[in-house]
């Protein structure tokens, strides 16, 4: 049994990390300029459009909102998004661009799907090619693929403003933030990526499915559609909802190792850059780098661990003397559920990245990973999608952990805890507790209900610990707004559609609202000047403490469930 | 450093009998509800007691889940002990407070007060009980009477024994009009009489407040304590969910695995109690109570716990120069004679002119002259001389012995006087005067008739240890600011000698107030010490304001703390106590959470031993049996509360050092220590259990 990565494997991992980190400073700085309304690279090209949009929508870009107004705007916007998408899904049949004549969805699935896309989860209880018309893919889903990460970015920027403003009532203007996020960040990046993806063979057409003669001689219907345009924002916006059911494992979504590399970079790009945006906006880049460091230090070992476990292969196969060694001719390791054009390393890196970032796109089937290989994506999600996390959402989630860390660590230096000069008091702790508690409540209770009820058990096909892992994965993925699936679970039932839909809503808004409340409360406070008695929040010690808190909260909360799922499976598999 | 804090034992005056009684009485559910963490332990204990009872009555009952009776019994026993230990910690902290309160209560006798109808007529009074006095009433207190309640002297001078409140046995002078016009209820007038206006309503006096502070009944949670309680409650809810959902997970796993037993309620309760932050939850109020007690032991009374916490946050400290940074009075250090005059001539003249001068400065001149030139002792009365006292309008004082008119005073005043008599001030002397002023000293010119003899250098003596203390403050990140009425030149010289970070010269009540507001605008938290009525506005504006007990009533009311020793450097100690309070909370919270890791490793493999025997691989401690593992975790969890009571009462050691260093040390001790300690502890207890056959 070979468990050691090849030099090529290490090179791939190192290169991926290096490219991602290299993009952080330019993109993060650019985003900071965009959100602060400063002149930036794109303003000569897009400035007029921004001003036109404000005029057309009747927005005064400089009108500040207090946190309650901001939160109401977020909720209102999301509610309208939901209604539009929900109605479109139900009446799909009446809408244009439907060459396959796809029928409307059932109400429960339409509820699940619209919630899924507006919360940036992109959990899919449907198969894209079978259940979705081109119109819905473009006007329904892709629109939300732009809007939902923009909402995340807007909330993040509002929180940053809370930290930087002094005795202020406002935390910015939601509509301005939304327009800027879409216009300057998501649209240009998507355009570039879509063109490159198209050049690599990702399809982009309105033509109906193609009937082709397969290798086995049978006729096959090949689904096509406007994929490239959706694929770009699916990754960049940390959405993850595939055009096809097979998601990024499908050759029309992700045809080559190059597209795979670009896609995985695209999904990491914005969440990682947000750290630097934060550093620039608070006027101390070290603060942003400290957070980025904490995320990276959690991510890299887990990603490497997962890769090593997968490359190690299946012990049962080893017992049968099946060669699982990596060589020039084969990827080696546990290739079940993986694409041969990607091999082990590109699949496990993708799996770790897509779950660390709350993207949820997959290029391999996580269900087929070895127990410990599957443990990595599960654990990364359980950390609350803060290891890079969703666009904007990852950073504001991480800042909740920073607040908790500062509170505990700050006490230990004998001062009322403060972060960036803002005192962390009962209100902030109350809100941070709500944000920390909400995912636990919905994951744990959701899973319990599912394994205890007939409706829940009906969807579980696999035996024992694996079946448990699948349910747990589904609720974790939905609540943390990830959207990836462990498969093996039949989730298109009224029970799962409804339960997971509720979890997605809770996981999104029970964090956004407390985050905005914290932003409002912090904005109203004075800023305490830094002194020798101030707890430094940019050095190695603080990063270590932050990592400790994220890991301890995650592990303590989910240790029993992880033990009953992947850990049991892992030990069961050992000979 | 904490010279006022006496070394104390664990019990320290608390009565063990009543502590134990309180420990058990606190099992009252209504009381337990106040602390959600411990309430959950309480509920858990009742549940396992119920299970135990059912199992005794009907052996093999389903609810027992096949666990042996002794196991359920022992778990129940230790759960109750967890609760009792937490109660004990609180009771012991309160017991200490009660001991303090009782001695204070002795001072609050039910004395009778002589209430006056009119302040002007001291002889017409009615005798009323002290507790019927209200704000604004006027009373007369004669020699031998107890002061009925807090008040402000409006007439008279008297020596007062304040030992009942301050512990200081030497009597103090209280008089109207000055900076010593405050009297405290419970103290006793020793001589003369005072007419006092009552300044507090019944139950609100100083003594009442003090008693209220040490008795926890009136103790309110401080803001930081509230924030921490919220966090602990959130963690508790998470662990409650973790444990509650484990039952369905276990049921499902057993069904699917087709083997093993469902996790029992007893084990779930044990797991829950081990996971929730019982260590900090059980010790939280003890930490708060003992923090207040440390303050009281330092002879400081705070109006609220909030103020103590704020003290830990202070980043600017306003210190009065006089009495805090320098000894209260200036002292003569050198004689600078004019040209043609010997030093001894100057010294003798200066000594003569100061013989009748009872100010500390005058006395220091006499002492210095006698020491330098071994002048004979002579009493002022033995000379046939007329003394000219200091007058505000001439600003000189002196002596007339026959023809010799010897005068001393400020340079310009003496110059004017000499000029009238036809003399001039030599240029060398003028230079010397300016020189001394620049060095921060006070030049005093001495002249005999029309001749200027020279200059006496009076120096503000900076307290020897103040520089080091200020340096410590700087290390803690606290900026010190000296407040003085001196001119900027003098102030700058003393500031640099004492090592303060900034100073406010020629300070008036308005400039002080302005300075504080300016600091607060910039986000600083300001602390100050004051005693005079003119300090009151600045005290009221400060975030932490310590009034001297010797000060005026106005100052005491404006402050949120009163220092009974009237020691201006006490503020530094108060800051330390505030910081210690927060640090202790932080350290125990970290320790409590870090402990959970080992407990999982003990309990999870044990709880699922029958369903998934493979999980035995997680039993890294090599615990003997599932029962002994769970029991060991529960016992450890209970014992750690007892083990940490001394730490909670004494507080985590505070050292003046930068925050980063402090964090790394505390993280190492309580974070890393908190992860490792239970692995060792649980293993040892497990070995013990195995040794006595309970495995």
Average confidence (pLDDT) over A463-490: 84
- As a whole number of angstroms, the distance between CA B195 and CA B184 comes to 13
Cβ–Cβ below 8 Å for B315 and A528: yes
pLDDT greater than 60 at residue B171? yes
Q: Which one of A429, A452, A464 has the shortest CB-CB distance to B227? A: A429
Q: Largest Cα–Cα distance of chain A, in whole Å?
A: 76
Shortest CB distance from A448 goes to which of B245, B586, B597? Answer: B245
Which residue in B425, B400, B428 sits closest to B410, CA to CA? B425
pLDDT at A108: 94
Cα torsion B432, B436, B439, B442 to 10°: value is: -170
| pLDDT class of B107 with cuts at 50, 70, 90 | low
B498 contacts: CB under 8 Å, gap ≥ 6:
B325, B326, B462, B463, B466, B467, B470, B482
Mean residue pLDDT of chain A comes to 90
Residue B246 and residue A79: Cα distance in Å, rounded?
A: 35
pLDDT, mean of residues A88-99: 89
The mean per-residue pLDDT over the stretch B28-44 comes to 89
| Averaged pLDDT for residues A89-115 | 91
d(CA B273, CA B81): 12
Test mutation, A447, A560, A569, chain B, max B CBs within 10 A = A560
**Which residue of chain A comes nearest to B232, CA vs CA?**
A433
pLDDT band at B615, cuts 50/70/90?
confident
- In this predicted structure, the answer to whether residue B48 has a pLDDT above a threshold of 80 is yes
**Structure confidence by residue, pLDDT tens digits, B510-536:** 888 899 998 888 888 899 887 777 778
Span B344-398, pLDDT tens digits: 889 988 888 888 777 778 888 888 888 888 877 776 667 778 888 877 677 788 8
Interface test with A, best of B236, B521, B612, B669 (most A CBs within 10 A): B612
pLDDT at residue A1, rounded to an integer:
37
Strand partners, B442: B458
- Which chain A residue's Cα is nearest to B521? A526
What's residue A64's pLDDT? 92
For chains A and B, count residue pairs whose Cβ atoms are closer than 8 Å: 211
Q: Is B59 helix (H, G, I), strand (E, B) or coil?
A: coil
Q: Does A412 sit within 8 Å of B662, measured CB to CB? A: yes
> What ipTM is given for this predicted complex?
0.92
Once rounded to an integer, what is the mean pLDDT over residues A275-296? 95
Contacts of A450 in chain B (CB under 8 A): none
Residue of A nearest to B578 (CA): A414
B238 lies within 8 A of chain A by CB:
yes
Provide the pLDDT for residue B223. 84
**C-alpha–C-alpha distance, residues A123 and A108, integer Å:** 14
Q: Chain B residues with CB inside 8 Å of A534's CB?
A: 477, 659
Residue B2 in this model has a pLDDT that exceeds 60: no
Token look-up 């012991």 returns B92
Contacts of A535 in chain B (CB under 8 A): 659-660, 663
State the pLDDT at residue B7: 42
Q: Which region among A64-68, A347-351, A420-424, A558-562 has the lowest average model confidence (pLDDT)?
A: A558-562
Q: State both tokens at B473.
A: 């403050």
Q: Looking at chain B from residue 303 to 322, which residues have their Cβ under 8 Å from any Cβ of chain A?
A: 309-310, 312-313, 315
pLDDT in tens, B293-343: 888 888 888 877 778 888 888 888 888 887 778 876 778 888 999 998 898
Provide the angle, in degrees to the nearest 10, between the axes of the packed helices B488-498 and B427-438.
Answer: 50
pLDDT at B222: 80
Residues 411-450, chain A: which have Cβ within 8 Å of B? 411-416, 421, 424-426, 428-430, 433-434, 436-437, 440-441, 444-445, 447-449
Q: Does A458 touch chain B (CB under 8 A)?
A: no
Q: Does B224 touch chain A (CB under 8 A)?
A: yes
Question: Which residue in A425, A465, A535 is closest to B223 by CB distance?
Answer: A425
Better-scored residue on pLDDT, A130 or A68: A68
The string of pLDDT tens digits covering residues A339-394 is 888 989 999 999 999 999 988 899 999 888 999 998 999 899 888 889 999 999 99
Q: Is B465 a catalytic residue?
A: no
Is the pLDDT reported for residue B177 higher than 50?
yes
Instruction: Check B245 against A445: CB less than 8 A apart.
Output: yes
The yes-or-no verdict on residue B3 having pLDDT over 70 is no
Contacts of B695 (CB under 8 A, 6+ apart): B624, B625, B627, B628, B686, B689
Is B233 in CB contact (< 8 Å) with chain A? yes
**Token digits of residue A84:** 């539009």
B535 touches chain A (CB under 8 A): no
Residue of A nearest to B225 (CA): A426
Note the helical H segments in A60-185.
Answer: 67-90, 107-118, 128-131, 134-135, 143-164, 174-180
Confidence category of residue B38, pLDDT binned at 50, 70, 90? very high
B601 interface with A at CB cutoff 8 Å: no
Average pLDDT along chain B: 84
Pairing of strands B561-563, B544-548: parallel
B162 vs B448: which has the higher pLDDT:
B448
Of the candidates A195, A206, A389, the one whose C-alpha atom is nearest the C-alpha of residue A296 is A389
**What confidence score (pLDDT) does residue B216 get?**
54
Closest CA to B588 of B510, B471, B666: B666
The Cα of A571 is separated from the nearest Cα of chain B by a number of Å equal to 6
- The arithmetic mean of pLDDT across residues B205-218, rounded, is 64
pLDDT over 50 at A74, yes or no: yes
Q: Which of B208, B320, B565, B686 is catalytic?
A: B320
Inspect the interface and report whether the beta carbons of A433 and B275 lie closer than 8 Å.
no
Q: What is the pLDDT of residue B1?
A: 34
pLDDT of residue B380: 66
* Residue from B464, B465, B527, B470 nearest B499 by CA: B470
Query: Looking at residue A3, what is its pLDDT?
Result: 45
pLDDT for B64 beyond 50: yes
pLDDT at B217: 47
Query: Is A16's pLDDT higher than 60?
Result: yes
């Amino acid at each position: 049994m070979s468990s050691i990565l090849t030099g090529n494997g290490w090179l791939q991992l190192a290169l991926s990390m290096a490219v991602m980190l290299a993009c952080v400073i330019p993109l993060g700085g650019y985003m900071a300029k965009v959100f602060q309304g400063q002149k930036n690279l794109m303003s000569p090209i897009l400035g007029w459009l921004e001003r036109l949009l404000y005029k057309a929508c009747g927005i005064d870009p400089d009108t500040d909102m207090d946190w309650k107004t901001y939160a109401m705007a977020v909720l209102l916007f999301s509610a309208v998004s939901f209604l539009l998408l929900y109605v479109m899904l139900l009446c799909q049949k009446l809408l244009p661009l439907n060459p396959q004549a796809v029928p409307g969805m059932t109400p429960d699935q339409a509820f699940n799907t619209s919630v899924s896309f507006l919360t940036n989860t992109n959990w899919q209880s449907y198969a894209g090619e079978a259940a979705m018309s081109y119109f819905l893919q473009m006007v329904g889903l892709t629109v939300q693929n732009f809007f939902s990460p923009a909402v995340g970015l807007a909330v993040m920027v509002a929180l940053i403003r809370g930290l930087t403003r002094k005795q202020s009532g406002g935390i910015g203007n939601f509509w301005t933030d939304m327009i800027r996020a879409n216009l300057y960040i998501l649209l240009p990046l998507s355009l570039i990526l879509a063109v490159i993806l198209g050049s690599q063979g990702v399809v982009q057409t309105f033509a109906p499915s193609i009937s082709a003669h397969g290798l086995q001689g049978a006729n096959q219907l090949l689904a096509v559609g406007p994929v490239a345009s959706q694929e770009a924002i699916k990754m960049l916006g940390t959405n993850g909802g595939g055009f096809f059911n097979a998601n990024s494992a499908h050759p029309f979504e992700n045809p080559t190792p190059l597209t795979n590399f670009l896609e995985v970079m695209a999904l990491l790009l914005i969440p990682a850059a947000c750290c630097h945006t934060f550093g620039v906006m608070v006027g101390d880049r070290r603060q942003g780098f400290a957070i980025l460091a904490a995320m990276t230090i959690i991510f890299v070992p887990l990603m490497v661990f997962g890769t090593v476990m997968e490359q190690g292969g299946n012990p049962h196969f080893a017992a049968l003397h099946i060669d699982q060694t990596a060589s020039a001719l084969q990827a080696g390791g546990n290739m079940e559920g993986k694409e041969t054009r990607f091999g082990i390393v590109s699949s496990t890196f993708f799996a770790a990245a897509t779950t660390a970032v709350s993207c949820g796109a997959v290029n391999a089937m996580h269900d087929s990973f070895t127990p410990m290989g599957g443990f990595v994506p599960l654990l990364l999600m359980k950390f609350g999608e803060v290891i890079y996390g969703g666009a904007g959402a990852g950073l504001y989630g991480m800042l909740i952990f920073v607040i908790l860390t500062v509170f505990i660590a700050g006490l230990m230096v004998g001062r009322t805890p403060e972060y960036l000069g803002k005192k962390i008091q009962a209100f902030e702790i109350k809100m941070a507790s709500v944000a920390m508690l909400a995912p636990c409540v919905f994951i744990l209770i959701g899973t319990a209900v599912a394994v205890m009820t007939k409706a829940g058990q009906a969807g579980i096909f696999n035996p024992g610990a694996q079946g448990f892992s699948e349910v747990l994965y589904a609720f974790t993925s939905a609540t943390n707004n990830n959207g990836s699936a462990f498969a093996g679970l039949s989730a298109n039932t009224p029970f799962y559609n409804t339960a997971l839909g509720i979890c997605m809503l809770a996981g999104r808004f029970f964090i956004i609202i407390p985050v905005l409340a914290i932003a409002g409360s912090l904005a109203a406070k004075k800023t305490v000047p830094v002194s020798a008695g101030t707890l430094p929040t940019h050095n190695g010690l603080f990063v270590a403490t932050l990592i400790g808190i994220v890991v301890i909260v995650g592990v303590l909360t989910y240790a029993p469930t992880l033990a009953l799922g992947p850990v049991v499976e892992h030990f069961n598999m050992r000979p | 450093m904490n010279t006022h804090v006496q070394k104390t034992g664990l019990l320290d005056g608390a009565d063990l009998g009543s502590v134990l009684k309180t420990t058990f009485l606190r099992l009252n559910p209504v009381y337990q509800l106040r602390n959600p963490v411990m309430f959950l332990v309480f509920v858990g204990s009742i549940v396992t007691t119920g299970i135990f009872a059912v199992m005794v009555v009907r052996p093999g009952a389903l609810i027992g889940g096949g666990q042996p009776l002794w196991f359920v019994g022992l778990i129940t026993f230790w759960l109750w002990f967890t609760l009792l230990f937490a109660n004990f910690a609180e009771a012991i902290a309160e017991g200490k407070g009660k001991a303090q309160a009782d001695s204070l209560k002795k001072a609050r006798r039910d004395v009778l007060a002589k209430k006056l109808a009119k302040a002007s007529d001291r002889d017409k009074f009615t005798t009323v009980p002290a507790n019927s006095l209200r704000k604004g009433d006027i009373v007369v207190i004669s020699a031998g009477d107890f002061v009925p309640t807090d008040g402000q002297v409006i007439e008279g001078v008297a020596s007062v024994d304040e030992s009942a409140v301050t512990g200081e046995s030497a009597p103090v002078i209280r008089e109207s009009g000055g900076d010593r016009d405050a009297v405290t209820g419970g103290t006793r007038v020793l001589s003369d009489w005072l007419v006092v206006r009552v300044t507090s309503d019944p139950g609100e006096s100083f003594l009442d407040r003090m008693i209220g502070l040490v008795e926890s009944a009136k103790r309110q949670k401080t803001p930081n304590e509230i924030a921490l309680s919220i966090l602990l409650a959130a963690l508790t809810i998470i662990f409650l969910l973790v444990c509650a959902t484990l039952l369905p997970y276990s049921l499902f796993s057993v069904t699917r695995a087709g083997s093993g037993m469902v996790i029992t309620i007893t084990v779930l309760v044990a797991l829950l109690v081990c996971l929730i932050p019982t260590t900090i939850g059980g010790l939280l109020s003890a930490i708060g109570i003992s923090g207040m007690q440390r303050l009281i032991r330092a002879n400081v009374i705070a109006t609220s716990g909030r103020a103590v916490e704020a003290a830990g946050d202070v980043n600017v400290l306003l210190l009065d120069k006089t009495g805090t940074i320098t000894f209260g009075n200036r002292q003569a250090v050198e004689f600078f004679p004019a040209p043609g005059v010997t030093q001894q001539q100057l010294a003798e003249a200066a000594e003569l002119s100061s013989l009748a001068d009872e100010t500390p400065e005058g006395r220091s001149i006499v002492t210095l002259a006698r020491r330098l030139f071994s002048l004979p002792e002579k009493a002022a009365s033995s000379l046939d001389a007329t003394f000219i006292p200091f007058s505000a309008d001439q600003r000189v004082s002196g002596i007339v012995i026959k023809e010799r008119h010897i005068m001393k005073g400020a340079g310009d005043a003496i110059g004017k006087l000499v000029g009238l008599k036809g003399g001039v001030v030599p240029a060398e002397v003028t230079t010397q005067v300016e020189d001394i002023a620049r060095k921060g000293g006070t030049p005093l010119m001495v002249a005999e008739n029309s001749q200027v003899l020279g200059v006496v250098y009076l120096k503000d003596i900076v307290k020897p240890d103040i520089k080091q203390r200020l340096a410590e403050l700087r290390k803690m990140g606290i900026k010190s600011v000296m407040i003085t009425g001196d001119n900027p030149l003098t102030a700058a010289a003393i500031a640099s000698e004492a090592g303060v970070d900034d100073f406010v010269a020629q300070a008036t009540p308005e400039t002080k107030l302005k300075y504080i507001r300016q600091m607060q605008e910039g986000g600083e938290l300001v602390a100050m010490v004051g005693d005079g009525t003119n300090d009151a506005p600045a005290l009221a504006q400060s975030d932490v304001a310590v009034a001297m007990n010797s000060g005026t009533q106005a100052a005491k009311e404006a402050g949120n703390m009163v220092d009974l020793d009237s020691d201006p450097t006490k503020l530094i100690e108060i800051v330390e106590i505030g910081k210690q309070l927060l640090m202790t909370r932080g350290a125990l919270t970290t320790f409590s959470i870090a402990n959970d890791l080992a407990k999982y490793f003990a309990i999870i493999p044990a709880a699922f031993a029958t369903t998934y025997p493979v999980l035995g691989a997680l039993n890294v401690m090599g615990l003997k049996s599932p029962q002994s593992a769970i029991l060991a975790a529960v016992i450890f969890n209970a014992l750690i509360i007892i083990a940490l009571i001394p730490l909670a009462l004494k507080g985590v050691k505070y050292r003046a050092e930068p925050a980063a260093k402090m964090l790394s040390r505390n993280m190492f001790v309580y974070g890393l220590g908190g992860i490792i300690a239970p692995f060792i502890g649980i293993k040892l207890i497990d070995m013990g259990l195995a040794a006595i056959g309970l495995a």
